[in-house]
Structure 1
């Protein structure tokens, strides 16, 4: 059973990580979420759940305005071949979320370590990073260094590199 947003927030608290969560109507796209600008400070994420032909899975987290070239990103992230979007059933299996709620926090559900996390270097220049807390009905703000602590705690050491054009 995947963890709930409440489980995630409790886990962050047990790690001593301060997170501020803003509730809002469901947001399915970056365009939807841009309506909240001004209310929520920091870098806002766009997340791509990708797979290569050898069934290696990647969660690529970039700034919401970033352009990602899906034809060449496999070279940058170490995929075995060109990548495509992972299917919704695999997204639920590995990250415990549905399309529209993809988030870096989803790796709390990836106990088998099936997904490689890739964080874009440009996004990581922000002191504060915003992501869905396993639901697209909220946005959680967390400090960049605390995001790295969270990923370490769930044994998902991220690859931090420039993936955007």
Structure 2
């Protein structure tokens, strides 16, 4: 198996920033459940990525550990915006140029207009290494979380670290 050519620009960008990664190719995985088959062979925090849109059209990429419970119908209150829904596949392709099942913070390399606000789970960022798809769901790339931050900063995106442990439930009422 060989990674498609469109991943070359991602790896070139990372290398240009002095970021070292390791990538393991595997059969395509489309869900967190399917990806669990790789967890024993790839060290680090395995993550999921939620591409979301609020009622006003603002876009968010929520990046967190694969086992983090996220209640999208309550998350908007944690983010301080109006109702959230999953971004449609055509919007995902337009903005991040990846297919559903391949959503990754690495795809922000394609968001030159910086339309997406990135929400990083603070527990994930406290881990030394995290794992994401490298624009395709046939591989997993491991990166130091400090280097993920360096990559995102180099792209100029708004990045917010949040404790998402409570995002699986409604926030407390005042």
**Residue aligned with 1:123, SS:** helix
Aligned equivalents of 2:111 and 2:31: distance in 1?
A: 23
**Residue aligned with 1:72, SS:** helix
8 Å CA contact retained: 2:53, 2:85: yes
Aligned equivalents of 1:6 and 1:99: distance in 2?
A: 20
Structure 1 residue 143, shift from structure 2 partner? 0.2
Structure 1 residue 122, shift from structure 2 partner? 1.6
Larger Rg: 2
Partner of 2:50: 48
**Residue aligned with 1:73, SS:** helix
Aligned equivalents of 2:112 and 2:77: distance in 1?
A: 26
Matched, 1:7 2:9: yes
Structure 1: where are the runs of 5+ without partners? none
Q: Which runs of 4+ in 1 moved over 6 A?
A: none
8 Å CA contact retained: 2:134, 2:140: yes
Partner of 1:153: 154
8 Å CA contact retained: 2:39, 2:46: no
Structure 2 length-normalised TM: 0.90
Partner of 2:116: 115
Q: What is the Cα-based RMSD across aligned positions, in Å?
A: 1.1
Per-residue CA deviations over 1:27-82 (Å, capped at 9, x if unaligned) read 10111111012210000111100001110000000100000011211122232x11
Partner of 1:20: 22
Structure 1 length-normalised TM: 0.95
Q: Please list, as runs of the form range in 1=range in 2, the aligned pairs for 1:133-144 lying within 5 A after superposition.
A: 133-144=134-145
State the aligned residue count. 162
Structure 2: where are the runs of 5+ without partners? 167-174
Aligned equivalents of 1:164 and 1:27: distance in 2?
A: 25
Partner of 1:72: 74
**Residue aligned with 2:130, SS:** strand
Structure 1 residue 147, shift from structure 2 partner? 0.3
